[in-house]
């Protein structure tokens, strides 16, 4: 079985500071890893994915994530947070070849002005 852990229910960061939203996963075989964001009253929006290749993946809105196989992690990062980044972030994993992901519980990111 595959699983995702997002250890923080909420992350608070000041605007302009770097942000990290943590994610660790468990899956048999090679993982497909995803980050989605949900803004209030909106659907999930795809941010980025890791399938293969470079461990550092760049996505939408200046976000990036680093695949770390030894630590089974896929933390989401951004060098300089914006207030508009405040939203709910979901990490997800699927077994290689499958595009049906298992999601984490979500992390609420709050960026303070």
Partner 1 sequence: EAGVTQFPSHSVIEKGQTVTLRCDPISGHDNLYWYRRVMGKEIKFLLHFVKESKQDESGMPNNRFLAERTGGTYSTLKVQPAELEDSGVYFCASSQVSRGNEQFFGPGTRLTVL
* 101 near partner 1, rule: CB under 8 A: yes
Of 93, 91, 89, nearest to 107 (Cα)? 89
User: Regarding beta strands 56-58 and 24-26, do their DSSP bridges make them parallel or antiparallel, or are they unpaired?
Assistant: unpaired
The span of 20-28, 61-69, 71-79, 96-104 binding partner 1 (CB under 8 A) equals: 96-104
Contact status: 1 vs partner 1 (CB under 8 A): no
Of residues 7 through 66, those in contact with partner 1 by CB under 8 A are 36, 41-46, 49
Judged by beta carbon, residue 28 or residue 41, the one nearer partner 1 is: 41
Provide the pairing of β-strand 107-112 with 102-103: unpaired
Sequence-ordered list of residues with C-beta below 8 angstroms from that of 84, at least 6 positions apart, any chain: 111
Site size toward partner 1, by CB under 8 A: 19
> Could you say which of 27, 104, 107, 111 contacts partner 1 (CB under 8 A)?
104
Q: How many C-beta neighbours within 10 Å does residue 26 have?
A: 13
| Lookup result for tokens 């699927």 | 94
The footprint of partner 1 (CB under 8 A) covers: 4, 36, 41-46, 49, 90, 92, 99-106
């Amino acid at each position: 079985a595959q699983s995702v852990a997002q250890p923080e229910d909420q992350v608070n960061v000041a605007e302009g500071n770097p942000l990290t939203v943590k994610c660790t996963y468990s899956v048999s075989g090679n993982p497909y890893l995803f980050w989605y964001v949900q803004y209030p009253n909106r659907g999930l929006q795809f941010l980025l994915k890791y399938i293969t290749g470079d461990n550092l993946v760049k996505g939408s809105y200046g976000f990036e994530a680093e695949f770390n196989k030894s630590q089974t992690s896929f933390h989401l990062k951004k060098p300089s947070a914006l207030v508009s980044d405040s939203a709910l972030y979901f990490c997800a994993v699927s077994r290689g070849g499958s595009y049906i992901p298992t999601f984490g519980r979500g992390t609420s990111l709050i960026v303070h002005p």
